[in-house]
Amino acid sequence: MIDWELVEKMWPDLMRVTISIREGRLNSVTLLRRLGSHSRKNEIYKAFREVGRSVRTVALLRFLADPRAAAAHHRGHQQGRGV
């Protein structure tokens, strides 16, 4: 389950981080270093993780809803296996 309450609570902080990256005031290496230290206790880390889960879920649902994408994926796997 995605913790939407956490995402909502942390939304202003998530947006601040996102804007800082976009404007070049924070680079991804620094962010990962900050989030990596004690990341399990870091609420921003947890909120970003929840957002990532939701993005992956939406992408999977879109893939499953598109029969052409599923067929192309299946063909690609068969070719990769030499079948």
- How many domains are contained in the chain? 1
- For 2, the 3-state DSSP assignment is coil
CA 21 vs. chain centroid, Å, equals 16
Q: Give the pLDDT confidence of 19-71 residue by residue, as tens digits.
A: 999 999 998 888 888 777 666 678 888 999 999 999 999 988 988 888 887 77
Residue 59, domain extent: 4-80
Q: Which residue has the higher pLDDT, 25 or 79?
A: 25
Q: Which residues contact 73 (CB under 8 A, 6 or more apart)?
A: 63
Environment class of 76 (CB within 10 Å of its CB; exposed 0-12, middle 13-18, buried 19+): exposed
